[in-house]
Amino acid sequence: MSKAKVTITDVAKASGVSNSAVSYALNGKPGVSQETREKVLKVADQLGWRPNKAAKSLSDARTNSVGLVLTYDPAVLSVEAFGMELITGLTARLEEAGYSLLIRSSRNMRAELDILDDWIASGAVDGVFLQNVELGDPRIELMSHHLEMPTVVMGDESLAGGLISLSTNERDGVRVIAEYCADQGHRRIARVAGPENLGHTFIRDNAFMEVAARLGLQYTCLHADYTPEGGRKCTERLLSLPNAPTAIIYDNDVMALTGAQVAAVRGLNVPQDLSVISWDDSFLCEVNALGITALGHNIIERGRTAAGLLLDLIDGKPVESVWEPQEKLVVRASSGPLA
């Protein structure tokens, strides 16, 4: 049924040469005659030899895998397409380089730090991705003290503490949305933002305040947690204000959708009475009785890019942080001129 594992020694015996000759032959390195090489290759193939991963890793101090810690938050994780798209992009690029993605799950920041510590000390991975960076994120500090572990921060350069990062131009996104609102005649806009501790929330907060001031818009912001419930509550609150906003921007698709629903329930007509705009575009925004205007993002591509950066870092190539090109606003039925 199952052939016993075939080692390099088996191949050596079977082809009547030494252990090292086999190693040279199989790795395409010089030090072995063409004739021997071919014979070894043939035998290895016949025997179905594959390098043992543990042995190889031990020998050359490389695992050919990189790590990603997922935060176990079923309420949010499962609801957003983001995570899966990211993993898809990461693994697609990693696969090209023969790398695997090693995933572990944490319940909180403390647990995630433990995992990173473990990876650093145990050599379980050749590099790590950092996601959902917070203000003063302890992971940044940790990895800064361990530059021997290649790290790519998937978040704004200003939060990366000098580590290599892949940033999206949040400020541009904010500007595009705010100017669009202003163009459509809105004077009072609001935002249902993500968690306040997240770095990109902070950056958007600042950018929105700045651009609102510049454009003379009245701007209100509430922070929620990306969940349907959070979006619902914040929208209720905003729409109950004496001077309710005429356009609301949501930091993710899920909240935008629930927001639009709340508006409908309150008898508001979207977009005549209220424009709804989502920061993240997705299937949710697209396929919906009412299409939701949203800022486009190509998460899969972002994943590919991040993986490429990490691979280069691991290979010791010179790497610089990347700023992603500005995304475009996809205008759909949920937004328009003020009636």
Partner DNA sequence: TTGTAAGCGTTATCAG
Partner DNA sequence: CTGATAACGCTTACAA
Q: How far is CA 99 from the centre of its chain?
A: 17
**Which sign, positive or negative, has the C-alpha torsion 167, 170, 172, 176?**
positive
Listed ranges 10-18, 164-172, 193-201, 281-289: which one lies at the site for a second copy (CB under 8 A) = 281-289
Interacting residue with DNA among 2, 34, 240, 243 (CB under 7 A): 34
* Residue 145 interacts with, from DNA, a second copy, none (CB under 5-8 Å by kind): a second copy
Q: Are 133 and 155 in contact (CB under 8 A)?
A: yes
Interacting residue with a second copy among 10, 18, 146, 266 (CB under 8 A): 146
User: Cα–Cα–Cα angle for 139, 155, 82, nearest 5°?
Assistant: 105
Q: Please give the full DSSP string across 258-312, using - where no structure is assigned.
A: HHHHHHHHTTPPTTTT-EEEESS--HHHHSSSSPPEEE---HHHHHHHHHHHHHH
CA distances from 259 to 179, 229, 233, 239 (A): 21, 10, 9, 10
Interacting residue with a second copy among 26, 198, 257, 310 (CB under 8 A): 257
ω into residue 138 within 30 of 0, thus cis? no
- Work out whether 268 is an interface residue with a second copy (CB under 8 A): no
Q: How far is the CB of 182 from a second copy (least distance, A)?
A: 28
Taking CB under 8 A as the criterion, which residues in 107-126 touch a second copy? Answer: 117-118, 121-124
* Residue 16 interacts with, from DNA, a second copy, none (CB under 5-8 Å by kind): DNA
For DNA, the closer of residues 19 and 158 by Cβ is: 19
> Which residues contribute to the site for a second copy (CB under 8 A)?
1-2, 5-6, 48-55, 57-58, 61, 63, 65, 70, 72, 74, 77-81, 83-85, 87-88, 91-92, 94-95, 100-106, 117-118, 121-124, 145-149, 228, 254, 257-258, 261, 264, 283-284, 286-290, 299-300
